[in-house]
Amino acid sequence: MQSDIEAILREGEAAIAAASSTDDLVQVETELFGKRSALSGAHRALGALEADQRIAAGRRLHEVRGALEAQVADRHDALAATERAELLVADRLDLSEVIPNLVRSPLSRGHLHLVSQARDELEDVFVGMGFEVAEGPEAESDWYNFEALNMPPAHPARGMYDTMYLDIGEPETVLLRTHTSPVQIHLMEEAVRNDTLPIHAVMPGKCYRLDTPDARHLPVFNQIEGLVVDRDVTFGDLAGTIQTFTTAYFGEGMQSRLRPAYFPFTEPSAEFEITCAICRGAGCRTCSNVGWVELGGCGMVDPAVFAAVGIDSDVWSGFAFGFGIDRLALMRHEIPDLRSFMENDIRFLSQF
């Protein structure tokens, strides 16, 4: 009997050590402690023993059961820990994959808006042609936006500009500029004050009109204005400047042309058109099949404007032009709707 009990202990220890998973161990437990186990058999056999032998064997049997139970518990802890570790490895999210990307492209923080990029490029092109870059205020008085530009109160041309007025001072005296042309007035006044004529400048900036947003209009948009005031400036200089700019910005093969138009602050005035950047002049939907797209207005500075700022138009002459930066970017990148510029959709913005 005694040797049977020791055999149960040895075999039990071996079986526990051999269990390779917690499931396996459950199986081993049933085999060790179940009704049909050697342990239970030995218990039942106790009854047939002499009293003193029964006591000794019973005690030993109790010890062996306790020892095996403790070993099962230890083995269970060890196996469960290994299994949990394996599960963690298998389920692991490999966040380290993101790190090399971040390290490789530290500039993925973002970039300038497409319209800002276009404005910077335009400035570069004009600086390369000898222009300086100037800026003016977005809130203007009626004088700068209209009157000095040869649009006295009630002038019909004011109707071209759906003006947003600010609630400052007398009604309709302070406004958000409807075009960048008032910056011309600031530059000319300053040049007269400081006696620094001639002027060769471009003036980019935001403009405002009370327009309902649609595919081709935004109530806030960007223009770039150009102004040259010098001796003996001709309409040919204006046409040449526009053509030089067109090839510098869009590349060889792009043409510009002028068509008669009217602006109160230039005389003669023209609209300038350039070869459609999308079809290169062949005709497409964007240019309504004519091969040309209208970009902006231009003309020779009207003597009435020179008079308003105190420049002698017998000595000085000049030309001016202005066009929309947003529309230019739109054309160059074949964007169907101007509103995309304002929607702040990162999927759109990150493409440029």
- The binding site for ligand PHE (CB under 6 A) comprises 179, 181, 225, 263, 266, 296-299, 320-322
Minimum separation from the CB atom of position 280 to ligand PHE (A): 26
User: 264: closest CA among 179, 139, 152?
Assistant: 152
User: Cis link prior to 198 (omega < 30° from 0)?
Assistant: yes
Q: Which is nearer to ligand PHE, 12 or 297 (CB)?
A: 297
According to DSSP, residue 211 is labeled -
Q: Which is nearer to ligand PHE, 263 or 292 (CB)?
A: 263
Minimum separation from the CB atom of position 181 to ligand PHE (A): 4
Minimum separation from the CB atom of position 323 to ligand PHE (A): 7
* CB neighbour list of residue 211: distance below 8 Å, 6 or more residues apart: 162, 217, 218, 219
Question: Please, are residues 322 and 223 in contact by the beta-carbon 8 Å criterion?
Answer: yes
Calculate the alpha carbon distances from 303 to 112, 175, 241, 280, 321 in Å: 40, 25, 21, 37, 16
The Cα 140–Cα 168 span in angstroms is 11
The Cα 302–Cα 18 span in angstroms is 103
Minimum separation from the CB atom of position 148 to ligand PHE (A): 13
Q: Environment class of residue 304 by beta-carbon count within 10 Å: exposed (0-12), middle (13-18) or buried (19+)?
A: middle
Minimum separation from the CB atom of position 161 to ligand PHE (A): 8
Tokens 């009704």 belong to 35
Q: Which is nearer to ligand PHE, 12 or 264 (CB)?
A: 264
User: What DSSP element (H or E) covers 184?
Assistant: helix 181-194
Minimum separation from the CB atom of position 157 to ligand PHE (A): 10
Minimum separation from the CB atom of position 300 to ligand PHE (A): 9
The Cα 340–Cα 274 span in angstroms is 24
Q: Which is nearer to ligand PHE, 12 or 136 (CB)?
A: 136
Residue 225: Cβ within 10 Å count: 24
Enter the tokens of residue 217.
Answer: 């209009």
Q: Which is nearer to ligand PHE, 61 or 298 (CB)?
A: 298
Question: Please, are residues 226 and 322 in contact by the beta-carbon 8 Å criterion?
Answer: yes
Minimum separation from the CB atom of position 320 to ligand PHE (A): 4
Q: What are phi and psi of 26, to 5 degrees?
A: -60, -45
Minimum separation from the CB atom of position 234 to ligand PHE (A): 16
Q: Which is nearer to ligand PHE, 12 or 204 (CB)?
A: 204
Q: Which is nearer to ligand PHE, 61 or 134 (CB)?
A: 134
Q: Which is nearer to ligand PHE, 277 or 301 (CB)?
A: 301
Q: Which is nearer to ligand PHE, 157 or 248 (CB)?
A: 157
